[in-house]
Amino acid sequence: MIDLENAVAGYTSFRLAPTTLTFAEGRFSALIGPNGCGKSTLLRMISRQLAPLSGAVRIGGRAAAGLSQKDLARRIALLPQENIAPAGISVADLAGYGRAPHQSLLGIASDTDRAHVARALHRMDLAHLAQAPVASLSGGQRQRAFLAMLLAQDTPAMLFDEPTNWLDIQHQVQVLTLIRSLAAEGRTCVAVLHDIAQAARYADHLVVMKDGAIVAQGAPAEVVTAELVAEVYEIAVEIYPDPVSGTPVPYPCQPRTGALAAAG
Ligand SMILES: Nc1ncnc2c1ncn2[C@@H]1O[C@H](COP(=O)(O)OP(=O)(O)OP(=O)(O)O)[C@@H](O)[C@H]1O
């Protein structure tokens, strides 16, 4: 579980509103909202990449501020939006970095570490590219290599900042299904997603942000309404039921311009 109590973080030009929020374990929570509303800032604060200016962040009931770097990395992992691999590293070695918090200072890999890495590469469809340099991968393959590193870290709380970026539709579904199964294993999973229909279909819980503040949260069917989308994204939509899950799918209303407007 991750809980925030009046937590505030930000930069000179942008600050989150005091945020009180719980991400429950065993649940896939999706964070949605317009560009620049503070979603990444919130994840950075939770993962302690950005120190809270006030308030508290607790991970598994423990104050994040009081944890050692290693203890923190055993409890929570973050897939950032931008990832840079060390020069010349292979896919398997990158995934192996995820095991560092579980190793001694000497960084000697155990059989357990190797098993975690092999499983992570398999889950991300990368076993055949294990020895390939990360620099030689496509954008989607690289994203999956960083996801494999996250899986190898094997933490009870996992944060994903736009995990479906660069992925084709097959791998988008694979990653969203994977996050669901990680939550079903009892982990606390939080993902920033831009596709509201995907968020509504795959997540159990939606948290909606605007201008640095949480403006709505709850079950997707309750949260995703035409009124909320209009208020948060400033665009008129109609809501259709997802043909598979029945969850809400917002579709932009067509502006009635040109020949269509004249005909109507
Ligand atoms: N390192 C930084 N230094 C200063 N300002 C920053 C920094 N990172 C982000 N910001 C500002 O903070 C605000 C929130 O950014 P953030 O990245 O959290 O938004 P976001 O909701 O994740 O956006 P997006 O959907 O575009 O990824 C923006 O106005 C951004 O310009």
- HEC per residue, the chain: CEEEEEEECEECCEECCCEEEEECCCEEEEEECCCCCCHHHHHHHHCCCCCCCEEEEEECCEEHHHCCHHHHHHHEEEECCCCCCCCCCEHHHHHHHCCHHHCCCCCCCCHHHHHHHHHHHHHCCCHHHCCCEHHHCCHHHHHHHHHHHHHHHCCCEEEEECCCCCCCHHHHHHHHHHHHHHHHCCCEEEEECCCHHHHHHHCCEEEEEECCEEEEEECHHHHCCHHHHHHHHCCCEEEEECCCCCCEEEEECCCCCHHHHHHC
Residue 117 Cα to ligand 1 midpoint, Å, equals: 32
> Is residue 201 within 8 Å of 182, Cβ to Cβ?
no
Nearest CA to ligand 1 atom 17: 40
**Residue in 213, 248, 243 with CA at minimum distance from that of residue 231:** 213
Q: What is the pLDDT of residue 194?
A: 97
Please report the pLDDT score of residue 104 as a whole number.
80
Largest CA distance in the chain: 74
Point out the ligand 1 atom lying closest to the alpha carbon of residue 41. Answer: 18
Structure tokens at 226: 């035409």
Q: What angle separates helix 139-153 from helix 111-123, to the nearest 10 degrees? A: 140
Q: Whose CA is nearest to atom 3 of ligand 1?
A: 11
Averaged pLDDT of the chain: 94
Give the number of the atom of ligand 1 that is nearest the alpha carbon of residue 212.
14
Which residues, 6+ apart, have CB-to-CB distance to 189 below 8 Å?
Answer: 27, 28, 29, 157, 158, 160, 179, 182, 183
Distance (Å) from CA 12 to ligand 1 centroid? 11
- 3: Cα separation from own chain's centroid: 16
CA distance 234 to 100: 44
Rounded Cα distance, 4 and 70, in Å: 21
- Residues at CB less than 6 angstroms from ligand 1: 11, 13-14, 33, 35-41, 81
> For a pocket test of ligand 1, which of 13, 31, 193, 211 has the largest count of ligand atoms closer than 8 A to its C-beta?
13
Q: How far is the CA of 46 from the centre of ligand 1 (A)?
A: 15
Per-residue tens of pLDDT for the chain, all 264 residues: 999 999 999 999 999 999 999 999 999 999 999 999 999 999 999 999 999 999 999 999 999 999 999 999 999 999 999 989 999 999 999 999 999 999 887 778 889 999 999 999 999 999 999 999 999 999 999 999 999 999 999 999 999 999 999 999 999 999 999 999 999 999 999 999 999 999 999 999 999 999 999 999 999 999 999 999 999 999 999 999 999 999 999 999 876 555 555 554
Rounded (10°) angle between helices 169-184 and 139-153 = 10
Mutate to test the pocket of ligand 1, among 16, 35, 40 (most ligand atoms within 8 A of CB): 40
What atom of ligand 1 comes closest to residue 13's alpha carbon?
5
- Which residue, among 53, 81, 26, 16, has the nearest Cα to 211 in the 3D structure? 16
Tell how far the Cα of 41 is from the centroid of ligand 1, in angstroms: 6
* CA nearest ligand 1 atom 11, residue: 14
Name the residue with the closest Cα to ligand 1, atom 2.
11
Closest residue to atom 28 of ligand 1, CA basis: 36
Give the count of alpha carbons within 13 A of 41, CB side only. 26
- pLDDT of 108: 82
Instruction: Give the model's pLDDT for residue 257.
Output: 59
31 C-alpha to center of ligand 1: Å?
A: 14
What pLDDT score does 259 carry? 58
Separation of 17 CA from ligand 1 center, angstroms?
14
